Amino acid sequence: EWRAVLVMRRSAPTLLALISLIVTICDAQDTCPEVRIVGLGDADQLAILQGCPGIPGASGPKGEQGLPGTKGETGAQGLAGKAGPPGAKGAAGEPGFPGPKAHHKSFHLFLSLICTEARNCQELLRKGKILSGWYTIYPQGCNATTIFCDMDTDGGGWIVFQRRWDGSVNFLRDWDSYKRGFGNQLTEFWLGNDNIHFLTSLGPCELRIDLRDFENNYYFAKYASFRVLGESEKYKLILGDFLGGNAGDSLSYHKDMPFSTTDQDNDMSSFNCATEYKGAWWYNDCHYSNLNGMYWLGAHGSYADGINWKTGKEYHYSHKRTEMKFRPV
């Protein structure tokens, strides 16, 4: 018995300390698992089973920053968002430096080199277009113009800018109509003063006028050069020498004259020749020719208001058909 008492005395301080620790830990929780003390025997060993967790300790010091991780792969592209409202208009920029001076001739030459289409009826003829009719040409650069080509008369290659055929088109028109052009491609037309000016400004041209009476007799007149100036100069007629023809020369009288219509009197007369002689022409004081006059059926009683050619059948005969045409020389 005295040995048991001796063992208990030796173990008492250790046992009391452990019991106090267990009580302190378990006070931190509402419930603790059952505590069992085992192993108090001759070997003087102690074991505690199923203890409660202790109170969390204070946070330790912050650790050093770790090394950066590797870059992840790019994710899939998201859907595009809605466009935002337009921003405010920015301030005007500084003026730029002046550009180089234009060289119009070189520029047009460049355009003509890159455009391989025919520039006129002569080039169409050389390309094998042998039938007279309406064609599209590219006279400057690659800008298209529709014209009637006479491929039969005097070697062909003529651009026809006036044709009287059967009286189906009214030629007694105002300035703007003659400026723009009018008519019917199948019968009668005026190509337009703007077009005539443009086409004759591209290089020297010769002029031919063909006439036909109601007895089917043919007449013609040719001129060495032909050009019509722009609207600012009233489409003035620039005409070269008369080269011949059985119609005689009834156009040289109109050389250097501006164009006149019923609403633009630019002639040298004291009255309006276009109104008096019912046409539109390069009237002087007034005319030797009036190919845009009234379409009378041959001989007519009125004076000089028909399709007249003075050196042919004079002022009381109106021709059945006429064509005015030019081509490059």
Q: Looking at the predicted structure, is the pLDDT value of residue 325 above 80? A: yes
Residue 121 lies in a domain: yes
Distance, in Å, from the CA atom of 118 to the CA atom of 142, rounded to the nearest integer, reads 10
What pLDDT shows up at residue 17?
55
Look up residue 223 and give its DSSP letter.
E
| CATH code assigned at 217 | 3.90.215.10
Please give the pLDDT value at position 77.
72
Confidence of residue 211 (pLDDT cuts 50, 70, 90): very high
Confirm whether 147 is domain-assigned. yes
Helix (H) or strand (E) holding 195: helix 193-200
Who has greater pLDDT, 100 or 317?
Answer: 317
- pLDDT one-digit tens code per residue, 284-306: 999 999 999 999 999 999 999 99
Q: What's residue 82's pLDDT? A: 73
The residue written with tokens 């009637």 in the block is: 148
Residue 34 within any structural domain of the chain = no
83 inside domain: no
Q: How many domains does the chain have?
A: 1
pLDDT score of 123? 97
Indicate the burial class of 255 (C-beta count within 10 angstroms; 0-12, 13-18, 19 or more).
middle
Say if 157 falls within a structural domain.
yes
Query: Cα separation of 10 and 82, whole Å?
Result: 85
Residue 120 has pLDDT above 80, yes or no: yes
Residue 230 falls inside a structural domain: yes
Q: Can you give the pTM of this predicted structure?
A: 0.67
Q: What average pLDDT does this structure show over 232-247?
A: 99
In a domain, 257, yes or no: yes
Q: Quick one: 175 exposed, middle or buried, by C-beta within 10 A (0-12, 13-18, 19+)?
A: buried
How far apart are alpha carbons 306 and 85 in whole angstroms? 69
pLDDT per position as a tens digit, 181-192: 999 999 999 999
pLDDT digits (tens, 9 = 90+) for 21-71: 554 544 544 454 544 544 445 554 444 445 556 677 777 778 778 777 777
CA 225 to CA 329: how far, in whole Å? 9
Q: Nearest CA to 162 among 207, 126, 124?
A: 207
Residue 19 confidence (pLDDT): 54
- Band the pLDDT of 95: cuts 50, 70, 90: low
pLDDT mean across residues, the chain:
84
The answer, yes or no, to whether residue 4 has pLDDT greater than 70, is no
Q: Evaluate whether residue 99 is within a structural domain.
A: no
Amino acid 179: pLDDT: 99
Token digits for 272?
A: 């309006």
Q: Which residue has the tokens 């609207």?
A: 231
Q: Which amino acid is at 315?
A: Y
> Which residues constitute the domain of residue 167?
112-328
Continuous segment of H or E residues that includes residue 9: helix 2-26
Strand partners of residue 145 = 137
Q: Is residue 221 a contact partner of residue 248, using CB atoms and an 8 Å limit?
A: yes
Q: Which SS3 state, helix, strand or coil, does residue 47 take? A: strand
Answer yes or no: is pLDDT of 86 > 60. Answer: yes
State yes or no: pLDDT of 242 exceeds 70: yes
Residues forming a β-bridge with 309: 289, 314
